[in-house]
Amino acid sequence: MGKEQSDFWQEHSLHYLEMAFRTDRHERITQPDGYGKKTGVCGDTVEIFLSVNGDILNTVSFDVSGCMNTNACANTVAHLTEGKRLDEAWEITPEDVAGYLETLPEDHLHCAELAVGAFYLALSSSQETRKHPWKKLYR
């Protein structure tokens, strides 16, 4: 193992490593209750899919086309919001995501902003679905 690889494992928190490499939430839900997609200036794209039961976020899954930092941030958004009430879910911020990860590089805070932005779009979409359930069929 080279010095760069060794440093990577030593320089990142356990939370960061878990969120960067966790894959069980990588899923595209067909006809989600909420959907949000956002592309950052860096070219990374995050898609968030929500399954809502009443006022509870039952499932938060995502698809990422981008770097490991963006993947870690999207996973963290899902981890911190799944099982929460919808009104509580709106409270998540990019700073919450970076704080949970502990070792997100400062020059990659935009990855947290991207993931949270896509999540906000999905929450807005879920509110629209609640008002007009027929729209879910066209996602």
* Overall pTM surpassing 0.75 (yes/no): yes
What confidence tens digit (pLDDT) does each residue in 68-116 have?
999 999 999 999 999 999 999 999 999 999 999 999 999 999 999 999 9
The pLDDT value recorded for residue 136 is: 65
Backbone angles phi, psi at 37, to 5 degrees: -135, 135
Mean pLDDT, residues 12-39 taken together: 96
Q: What is the CA angle 122-28-9, rounded to 5?
A: 90
Q: What ranges in 1-139 are assigned the alpha helix state H?
A: 3-11, 14-21, 68-81, 86-89, 94-101, 109-131
In this predicted structure, the answer to whether residue 139 has a pLDDT above a threshold of 80 is no
Structural domains of the chain, count? 1
Which CATH number characterizes residue 94's domain? 3.90.1010.10
In this predicted structure, the answer to whether residue 138 has a pLDDT above a threshold of 90 is no
As a whole number, the mean pLDDT across the chain is: 93
In the sheet with 56-65, reading across from the earlier edge strand, the strands are 34-39, 45-53, 56-65
Q: What confidence tier does 8 reach under pLDDT thresholds 50, 70, 90? A: confident
Give the structural domain span for 84: 3-138
